[in-house]
Amino acid sequence: MLRIKIILFISVVLASVSSFAQDEQFHPFHDDLPYYFGLTLNYNSSTLYSTKSNYFLQNDSILVATAGSSGGIALGFLATLRLNDRFQFRVNPQLILGGSRYFNYTLGSHFPFESVTQQQILPTTIVSFPFQIKFNSDRIGNFRTYLLYGVKYDIDMSSNSSARNADNMIKLKAGDFGVEGGIGFNFFLPFVTISPEIKFSYGLTNIHQYDPALKYSNVFDKIQSRMFVFSIHFED
């Protein structure tokens, strides 16, 4: 379903190119600016990729354990620095709200007084710091395509890594380092440049804080973040 949405989005954008290309060119000297700023609105759909621990493989107290997370929205600030005619450096700090991480379990016979299925939910509020290199195509009238690649560091303000142990707790670390890449489109309008963008990020950090004493946590070895992001940038 996600791929279908991406294909439809790209098709709509490409269908609009011909009309924008024939319009009067707005901000013809925009690319000569040494730097400029903007604001970001985005929707993100994130998942958690997990690998099981030896405890899970060797015991049957928990039969199924899966990690996941829900979508959220973000507000951000955008700062772009011109490097040359093709490349720009971009910083895009964001506050990501509304998402949550959850863990689904199917319990074995070791817990006769608990429901067979359990879900542990961890709300998240993330401050994200992406640093990106942006590669611009040639401008056609009021339209341009760009590619981006970069790194990011996320801080989960809701992290429970320092909380006191409880039997039903899953501890996740606050910091997460990752890489990301994507494609975007600049539409130059009379008073603003609107830039829709699709981006994928891949967390490299194991954010799971393993604790053998926690029954819902010790079944996981590694937990890493994955995220699809659709953004709209409003640039000067």
Digit-coded pLDDT (tens) for 101-159: 888 888 877 776 677 888 888 888 899 999 999 999 999 989 999 999 999 999 998 87
Mean per-residue pLDDT for 65-76? 88
What architecture does CATH give domain 2-235?
A: Beta Barrel (2.40)
pLDDT of 166 higher than 70: no
Residue 153 makes CB contacts below 8 A (sequence gap 6+) with 128, 129, 175, 176, 177
Place of tokens 């024939």: 22
Q: For residue 56, give every residue at least 6 positions away whose Cβ sits within 8 Å of its Cβ, in sequence order, or none.
A: 62, 65, 218, 219, 220
pLDDT at 20 over 70: no
Nearest by Cα to 234 from 6, 82, 77 = 77
| Arithmetic mean of pLDDT over the chain | 85
User: By the 8 A CB rule, do 207 and 186 touch?
Assistant: no
Determine which of 63-67, 91-95, 173-177 has the lowest per-residue pLDDT on average.
63-67
Angle ∠(89,92,95) on CA atoms, nearest 5 = 170
Instruction: Extract the tokens encoding 107.
Output: 């319990």
In which element (H, E) is residue 6 found?
A: helix 2-21
pLDDT tens, position by position, 53-64: 888 888 878 888
